[in-house]
Structure 1
């Protein structure tokens, strides 16, 4: 399987997450005064002293010796062991850190060898996999190998392929004329089915006949969640040897302790197979006051415990952290709410993800990716999750999100959460209970959520929760396949939302769902909603009691509505409903105001919310005109990927008008003129050359119009086309074409390669690159590296001469630099744009001189030449002790 390079950003992240040797040496000097420092290296020995010259061989050797205040410095290499640090103390923590001479990987897998021919085109190896059968994972040549399944799917589990049962199916029974004739008894049935299937379920096949299956499982609650003659009848089968039919697929016979595999086309010789052996590569469940820094995890995860405190996990890079193939009902012992059938949605939340449990623990500056379940599980009190990149998680389709939050007093800020099966951020009341006080969820960027479902949102909390003291503010939610940007569901109350931004989220921006019950004292203030919302900007509906609810200072394209029930009645006022509110660039999510906007000074004062007023009164919307533009998400490599949408056009081979495919609005749709057949195509003109590595074809909430197969070719001139750079099959709601490398082109051609019974549809096309697009607004506070100033929530501090900030791996195509800066420089000062290094080639100089008022001003200059390709960019201050503070910059043609 080809690894999704655009999502892992391997080289850049490895460089960032591993401290340089110089930095590690400094850390060693600083910790030496507190305790002893031991070195660990694969070339060490068990009887060594642990010095740099005579290192220990395993991390376990080191941890058996450390005492509070000691440090284990781990040299480059792969360590196939479970790391169980003892506790330090508050004043003398124990540190386990990468030395900085290369990647340090704690590997949860073990090699599988001794492969022999097993007949029928299979090979097999005798091996004892110690995990529960449905937690097994196998890797082929360093990539996830798929468990044998029908129908076959591609390598990306978030681009899954479903079978569709015939309408004659009934509860716990499937009729499907396409089902291969085989003995499927004992296979796992995975289904996404019902009238409105808001979660997925699994069961076990109990009988099979040609074109028929009986199965037992799920919640037996039909509708909405079971098979039968429903709107949705999607399923697939895994866990059966008869499903093995394509290279890399595997099946494990636990009774015989034998692993079967379809070998690669050139045979198994020369290939490496490993299988998962350890759920927790770093197990801190019994530890407190430990710092873990700069480690990589592969095929395993990390957890703290309910009693852990003072643990810091910094610069972790964890890949393929959790795998499972079934979704059982959570045991009653795990539930905070009396059990009932609907609790199936909480399946595997407590079994998966990087787990930060306990009190006062921190996960920061880390990349967490590729999980069947959670990205991060957060439980307890007063923990912090900040500046992390979390992606490609939750593909099994339960309510496992990018970040699952249980407990109170947590801080979840500046995280980028992308490509999740359901929500980006979620709270499961079944496990949390109804009390959810004093949590801060802010400055997070949530996108590409709801890849395996529909009834949900990037931000989702449920049910009957009391959110007193909890603030959801300054978050962005966009480009998601659910129904809402921010969703407070089923009887929950006392949630305060403000200064949030949503676009391309379906029917609504924010939804407070009373659902025939109370929705008390929920608030939304100063939020901005953009394109791709076709129902309500904000909706509070179905409430029997909405007392104290308050919605104000909102900008949105669609009406705001609130159930008028309660005492006092909900307040809805001081809002601007307009499709032309004066946004900077609505299609690209730049929902800040421009001069002349009717929202300027048109808001009402709200205690604790409108705190940075500039002008005669507060502005409506999320951004105060004249103030620095705050940003969301992390500042690690990979956190900025979406290519700026310009004046894109599309031409269809059948002559239909295809403008809806490229207008940047998720709710508009192009539909082909006839059922799918090979050779039908869309040609897309981007208007200018762009650099990208992935194309997303989004069919919105449609369930039948996805292409059954397509390829993507590119061209610089619209005449000479490349060979197909990506081929995609399957029928997932949003399909991703991943290219083998970054590509620069102006034109794309999407060509169907398979037939289908209905016309194909496209609601939205999006492009993503390895690194930010310089044509987008590069926010200064999201610079990858800085010197002389600190990151803030908006803009930088004042740069002095010689200070700089840098953006790694920016995709460039332009010759005009624009900066927004505020200067009080009394003489001639300037900002120098340099390529690849702070002292690299000079591309342009922006003179800055303040007028004493410190106002933010935009200024543009032509560069010395047009710059293209991927480069590091540095903006260096020159000319004085206080040159300028920087808000943002762009480079465009």
Structure 2
């Protein structure tokens, strides 16, 4: 695929005008000068010294602090870099050790912790709640207990913790005026002889001010934070976040164990959020964001790559507005919201609002309650080359206010496009839940596509100027204006929902295998009803292997066109061409592995060559 300059930059090392290099070591002192021989002890001591162009190198150890950069860099080439020393294990954690446990009964122990231990924030008294949050059966707090880096699950009542442990160990906390009593199950363990910690900090790496731009964070383990629910109407805190800034690079980190969000590119804080969800209020939120600098010059342009993000109870990567003009690539996101502690409309491996000209590509997203949810103003967005499977929303029956069905890889909600979904492997029970229009689905391997238009029809949502954030108008969510081109559909799958649509459709070059059916709007669909590709994913040693069968005859029984901007045309509502973020034309002339496609008659699905047998699909 021909890419724009903003995408191309992610393929090379981010250059930096080099200034001073400060060093940090657990054996250092904040009274030192920060040199290699006389390092600082805390990362914040170095942060308070660093200026544009400087590098902060952190050495082996566990750092129990929140890093809140007081300033950023000046440009993409003159940034402030925070990095783990090469080959060294550096952990920044939001938790603190707890000792002095006494046995209660069975596998249950308790610790009495003075409230002063938590400073000004006690997560065990912090109830998870907010706009579009849904948890009628239980209450959940942001506090967590960790045994040897594995978190325990919060129980709904003390009596459940006092029983013998079954399955996942439980904890329950009682917050009093002076002390917090934590009751926890440690089956087969003496917690006084193990590493037991509780979280005490909301965030691990997060500026307290907006517009702290051009920061690089590289090579850390960032863990055990206690942020609250992150809807698009409030400040979206996470283990690590940009807090309404521009030009961050977050790469090669392990981000794990968040009560809610793992990584945030999201919204600033104000006094208007959590006043009860309403779409009228959400429109006002957009207006306020525009007044707060949501534009191409000031916000977004982040690069998030090569991270592993796991064990977050709400979302892996979240971003309302602040993720615009960004690149999210080559991340491994898994085990998000799988504990089913609560529900809501912000639960996914990736959840974005206003992902304008954002590229989400080459990521591996699996075992999440939902894979990806792109909501409102998904305009100019490209979702390409991703591997998604075993994202099972069915586990909880309902995700917030939305019936989850068989599990979703991609949920598109009330967008007007243009949005490109190309070269993806989408193997969860429901590949796409489409409550939007203006999307082109091109060269994917897909299961079920479920459109939902009637329910969402009355909702009027904004569309924007091309490649910008200024609102042009609002439009309802009627059916149609989607394109399905050169995909392979596998069972169970049907496009019969698209037999009748309000807006015109484009469908051609698709292959429907055993157990899948085309729409009547595709007059020359290729039905191979006796052929079963039988796709399966096996994970071995951190790699993903796809077993798949393809029929080489698909290339001769149907002639396909190379997909280009000219072929896709314009999304009807915004009257914007399907093109790259810099306005250059699209050509889907490479496949999932970035191998060249045939120009005259490309093979359907994500692979240009017919795939038979076992293929390593991650890492590529």
The normalised TM-score by structure 2 is 0.68
Aligned to 1:354: none
Q: CA deviation at 1:448?
A: 0.6
Distance 2:182 2:489 in 1: 52
**Conservation of the 8 A alpha-carbon contact between 1:375 and 1:402:** yes
How far did 1:241 drift? Answer: 4.2
1:460 Cα offset (Å): 3.2
Q: Secondary structure in 1 aligned to 2:318?
A: strand
Which residue of structure 2 aligns with residue 55 of structure 1?
A: 39
- Aligned pair 1:529/2:483, yes or no? no
- Alignment pair present for 1:777 and 2:615: yes
How many residues are treated as equivalent by the alignment? 470
Q: How much has 1:136 moved relative to structure 2?
A: 0.7
Retained in 2: the 8 A contact 1:556–1:579? Answer: yes
State the partner residue of 1:314: 251
Counterparts of 1:278 and 1:42, CA distance in 2: 19
State how far apart, in whole Å, the 1-side matches of 2:349 and 2:604 are.
27
The residue number in structure 1 matching 2:102 is 116
Deviation at 1:485, TM superposition (A): 1.4
Structure 1 residue 618 corresponds to structure 2 residue 541:
no
1:472 is matched with which residue?
421
SS of corresponding position for 2:239: strand
Q: Is 1:141 equivalent to 2:151 in the alignment?
A: no
How many Å separate the matches in 2 of 1:121 and 1:580? 55
Measured at CA, do residues 573 and 586 of structure 1 come closer, stay the same or move farther in structure 2, by a change above 3 Å?
A: farther
Gaps of 5+ in 2: 1-12, 128-140, 226-237, 262-271, 283-297, 398-403, 458-477, 538-545, 568-586, 590-595
Match of 1:847 in 2: none
C-alpha displacement at 1:542, in angstroms?
Answer: 8.7
- Between the aligned partners of 1:448 and 1:244, the Cα distance in structure 2 is 34
User: In the TM superposition, what is the alpha-carbon distance from 1:72 to its structure 2 partner?
Assistant: 0.6
Change (3 A) 1:447 1:310: same
SS in 1 for 2:431: strand
Matched, 1:406 2:353: yes
Residue 222 (structure 2) aligns with: 297
2:101–2:110 CA contact under 8 A, matched in 1: yes
Q: Counterparts of 1:295 and 1:614 in 2: how far apart (Å)?
A: 38
Contact kept, 8 Å, 1:552 with 1:572, in 2: the verdict is yes
Task: Tell me: CA distance 1:142–1:548, structure 2 relative to 1, closer, same or farther (3 Å).
Answer: same
Structure 1 residue 461, shift from structure 2 partner: 2.8
Separation of aligned partners in 2, 1:54 and 1:93: 24
Q: Aligned-residue CA RMSD in angstroms?
A: 3.3
Q: Is 1:487 aligned to residue 438 of structure 2?
A: no
2:400 equivalent in structure 1: none
What per-residue deviation string (whole Å, max 9, x for no partner) do you get for residues 725-773 of structure 1? xxxxxxxxxxxxxxxxxxxxxxxxxxxxxxxxxxxxxxxxxxxxxxxxx
How far apart are residue 109 of structure 1 and its match? 0.4
Return the index of the structure with the highest Cα Rg.
1
Pair 1:459 & 2:409 matched: yes
1:378 aligns with 2:378: no
Q: Does 1:513 align with 2:473?
A: no
Q: Distance in 2 between matches of 1:607 and 1:333?
A: 45
> Is contact 1:110-1:275 (8 Å) kept?
yes
For 1:619-768, list aligned pairs within 5 A. Answer: 619=602, 621-622=604-605, 627=608
Any idea what SS the aligned residue of 1:441 has?
strand
Shift of 1:495: 1.3
In the alignment, does 2:441 pair up with 1:441? no
Separation in structure 1 between the aligned mates of residue 556 and residue 431 of structure 2, nearest angstrom: 22
Match for residue 41 of structure 1 among 25, 40, 64: 25
Q: Which ranges of 4 or more aligned residues in structure 1 deviate by more than 6 Å? A: 613-616
SS of 1:269's equivalent in the other structure is helix
CA distance in 1, matches of 2:597, 2:87: 50
In structure 2, C-alpha distance between the alignment counterparts of 1:61 and 1:587, rounded to whole Å: 50
| Cα distance change, pair 99–463 in 1 and its aligned pair in 2 (3 A) | closer
Shift in alpha-carbon separation, 1:553–1:80, aligned structure 2, 3 A:
same
Which residue of the partner structure matches residue 8 of structure 2? none
The Cα shift of 1:561 comes to 4.9
On the 8 A contact 2:26/2:62 being kept in 1, the answer is yes
1:465 Cα deviation after fit: 2.1
* CA deviation vs aligned residue, 1:171-218 (integer Å, no higher than 9, x gap): xxxxxxxxxxxxxxxxxxxxxxxxxxxxxxxxxxxxxxxxxxxxxxxx
Work out which of the residue numbers 72, 77, 102 in structure 2 matches 1:87: 72
Whole-angstrom CA distance in 1 between matches of 2:58 and 2:484 = 48
Q: Secondary structure at the match of 1:540?
A: helix
Are 2:438 and 2:482, in contact at CA under 8 Å, matched by a contact in 1?
Answer: yes
Counterparts in 2 of 1:386 and 1:333: CA distance versus 1, 3 Å: farther
- Pair 1:68–1:281, CA change in 2 (3 A): same
Superposed CA deviations along residues 838-863 of structure 1, whole A, max 9, x for unmatched, are xxxxxxxxxxxxxxxxxxxxxxxxxx
Match 1:359 to one of 300, 317, 323: 300
Aligned to 1:244: 162
**d(CA) in 1 for partners of 2:52 and 2:599?**
57
Does the C-alpha gap of structure 1 residues 285 and 419 become closer, same or farther in structure 2, counting only changes over 3 Å? farther
Which residue is 2:268 aligned to?
Answer: none
**1:785-807 CA-partner distances (Å, limit 9, x unpaired):** xxxxxxxxxxxxxxxxxxxxxxx
Does residue 420 of the first structure (1) align with residue 404 of the second (2)? Answer: no
Return the alpha-carbon distance in structure 1 between the equivalents of residues 243 and 433 of structure 2: 29
Instruction: Return closer, same or farther for 1:302/1:600 CA change in 2, 3 Å cut-off.
Output: farther
Match of 1:125 among 96, 105, 111: 111
Does the residue aligned with 2:46 lie in a helix, a strand or coil?
Answer: helix
Corresponding residue number in structure 2 for 1:661? none
Q: How far did 1:278 drift?
A: 1.3
Instruction: Find the residue that maps to 1:89 and give its secondary structure.
Output: coil
What is the alpha-carbon distance in structure 1 between the residues aligned to residue 195 and residue 597 of structure 2? 62
- Cα gap change, 1:121/1:290 in structure 2, threshold over 3 Å: closer, same or farther? closer
Q: Return 5+ residue gaps in structure 1 as ranges.
A: 1-25, 149-237, 325-329, 341-356, 429-433, 564-570, 631-643, 645-774, 784-893
Matched, 1:282 2:205: yes
Distance 1:476 1:420 in 2: 16
**Deviations, residues 2-48 of structure 1 (Å, cap 9, x unaligned):** xxxxxxxxxxxxxxxxxxxxxxxx99xx86x6311011000111211
The Cα shift of 1:398 comes to 3.6
CA shift for structure 1 position 269? 3.2
Pick closer, same or farther for the CA change 1:455–1:499 going to 2, 3 Å. same
Cα pair 1:515 1:541 within 8 Å, conserved: no
CA shift for structure 1 position 388? 0.3
Deviation at 1:437, TM superposition (A): 0.8
* Partners of 1:141 and 1:611 in 2: CA distance: 47
Greater share of residues in strand = 1
Asked whether 1:549 is paired with 2:535, we answer: no
